[in-house]
C-alpha cells in the first residue's frame, strides 16, 4: 500500500476537484435529481467548498426548495455555518425565500444560529412575519 502525501490525497486529485465543482454547481442551479443521485452514490451530503458553503447552503441561498428538501431528506445539516458564520436559514431569509425558510425550520434549523442569525436578518429586513415564525 502506498502512503498518501498531501499531493496524492483525494482532495488534490484534479478529477475529484472537478467532481466537487460539478456537485456544487448542481446545488447552485437546482438540479435536484442529479444532485440527489450523487449524494445517494456517496458524495457527502455536508460537503463544503473552499468557503465552507455546504450543498444545502447554496441551494437555500438560490431558492431551490426541491433541492433543499432532497438534501434535508438525506440528513443535510440545516445549521452548518460557512466560514463567514452564515447559515442556510439566514441565507434564505436574506434572499426572501420564504418556502425554503419554512422547510429548513421544519428540519430543525435554529433561527438564532450564525452571524448574522436568521432572526437578525429578519429584523434588518423588517420581516415581522418571519420573526413570528421563529418564536
pLDDT digits over 51-78, tens only? 999 999 999 999 999 999 999 999 999 9
- pLDDT above 70 for 17: yes
- Which residues are CB-contacts of 82 (< 8 A; sequence separation ≥ 6)? 48, 51, 52, 53, 54, 57
Average pLDDT over residues 88-116: 97
Q: CA 9, 16, 88, 45 torsion: positive or negative?
A: negative
The pTM (predicted TM-score) of the whole model is 0.88
Whole-number pLDDT of residue 16? 82
Whole-number pLDDT of residue 14? 85
The closest of 35, 75, 80 to 57, measured between CA atoms, is 80
How far from the centroid of its chain's Cα atoms is residue 64's Cα? 11
For residue 54, give the C-alpha cell: 455546504
For residue 48, give the C-alpha cell: 463544503
**CA atoms of 45 and 131, how far apart (whole Å):** 29
Q: How many Cα atoms occupy the beta-carbon half-sphere of 39 within 13 Å?
A: 25
**Cis status, amide bond into 116, omega within 30 of 0:** yes
Percent of the chain with pLDDT over 70: 91
- pLDDT above 80 for 7: no
- pLDDT above 70 for 10: no
Give domain 11-134's CATH architecture: Alpha Horseshoe (1.25)
Mean residue pLDDT across the chain:
92
> If pLDDT is split at 50, 70 and 90, which confidence band does 3 have?
low
Amino acid at each position: 500500500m502506498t502512503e498518501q502525501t498531501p499531493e496524492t490525497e483525494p482532495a488534490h486529485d484534479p478529477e475529484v476537484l472537478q467532481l466537487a465543482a460539478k456537485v456544487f454547481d448542481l446545488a447552485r442551479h437546482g438540479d435536484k435529481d442529479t444532485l440527489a443521485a450523487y449524494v445517494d452514490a456517496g458524495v457527502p451530503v455536508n460537503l463544503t467548498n473552499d468557503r465552507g458553503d455546504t450543498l444545502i447552503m447554496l441551494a437555500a441561498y438560490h431558492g431551490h426548495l426541491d433541492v433543499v428538501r432532497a438534501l434535508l431528506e438525506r440528513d443535510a445539516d440545516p445549521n452548518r455555518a460557512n466560514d463567514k458564520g452564515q447559515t442556510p436559514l439566514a441565507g434564505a431569509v436574506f434572499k426572501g425565500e420564504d418556502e425554503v425558510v419554512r422547510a429548513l425550520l421544519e428540519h430543525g434549523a435554529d433561527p438564532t444560529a450564525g452571524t448574522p442569525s436568521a432572526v437578525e436578518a429578519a429584523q434588518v429586513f423588517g420581516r415581522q412575519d418571519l420573526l413570528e415564525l421563529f418564536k
